[in-house]
């Protein structure tokens, strides 16, 4: 029961944060959406930042864990890159609201300790993405001359920006987006060769 109430607060807060922005959402708004008094919110959470972090951090950590598992997998580089895109985009599906809250805004409001905790997760996540590109380069599967970090941040940006335009109610599915992004990331938009070239070295 207590857990249900807590989850309810997080869910309603996430919806409000996603639709109107964090800074425009008060504890009163959240309480009203749940149908309780503001004291009821404060019983579970110290502040709006607390609620925000509780939405973003588990979401971010779960993405990170998914990628850590993937890094250990024995898989060819192209498939690994596709899987990384898939892990990231799949999170929009059950957790579109939470992903939106995490990504739509830059979170200026969090205090330094919390921001650092979040930043550490995101930095490691970015490093793992960079690692996928570097591994592909080391294996000769990916272009040597491209900067792995810029590639990683570019592809992550592509996936993160989905939070700004994807609408779960419209016909474009996460599967469509995953297929298209994987195609761009691996072989680009240019029309494919008939015979698949062997990787250099």
List contacts with a copy of itself (CB under 8 A): 20-21, 23-24, 78, 81, 104-106, 108-109, 133, 136, 140-144, 146-147, 149-151, 153-162, 164-165, 172, 176-177, 180-181, 183-194, 197, 199-200
Nearest distance in Å: CB 78, a copy of itself:
6
Sign of CA dihedral 81, 156, 122, 62: negative
Least distance from a copy of itself to the Cβ atom of residue 132, Å: 10
What single DSSP character describes residue 3? H
Cα 148 to Cα 130: distance, rounded to the nearest angstrom = 6
For a copy of itself, the closer of residues 36 and 141 by Cβ is 141
What's the closest the beta carbon of residue 129 comes to a copy of itself, in angstroms? 12
Nearer to a copy of itself, 36 or 174 (CB): 174
φ, ψ for residue 22, nearest 5 deg:
-65, -50
Letter string b/e over residues 185-194, b meaning 16 or more CB atoms within 10 A of that residue's CB = bbeeeeeeee
Between 33 and 36, CB nearer to a copy of itself: 33
């Amino acid at each position: 029961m207590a857990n249900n109430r807590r989850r309810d607060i997080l869910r309603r807060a996430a919806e409000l944060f996603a639709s109107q922005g964090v800074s425009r959402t008060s504890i009163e708004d959240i309480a009203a959406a749940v149908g309780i008094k503001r004291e009821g919110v404060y019983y579970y959470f110290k502040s709006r930042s607390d609620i925000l972090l509780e939405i973003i951090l588990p979401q971010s950590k779960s993405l990170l864990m998914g990628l850590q598992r993937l890094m250990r997998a024995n898989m060819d580089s192209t498939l690994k890159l596709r899987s990384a895109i898939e892990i990231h985009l799949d999170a929009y599906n059950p957790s579109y609201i939470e992903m939106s809250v995490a990504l739509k805004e830059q979170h200026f409001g969090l205090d330094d300790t919390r921001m650092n905790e979040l930043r550490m997760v995101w930095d490691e996540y970015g490093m793992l993405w960079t690692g996928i590109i570097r591994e592909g380069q080391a294996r000769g599967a990916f272009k040597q001359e491209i900067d792995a970090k810029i590639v990683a941040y570019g592809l992550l940006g592509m996936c993160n920006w989905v939070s700004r335009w994807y609408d779960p109610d419209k016909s474009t599915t996460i599967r469509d987006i995953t297929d298209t992004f994987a195609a761009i990331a691996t072989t680009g938009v240019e029309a494919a060769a008939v015979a698949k070239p062997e990787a250099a070295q």
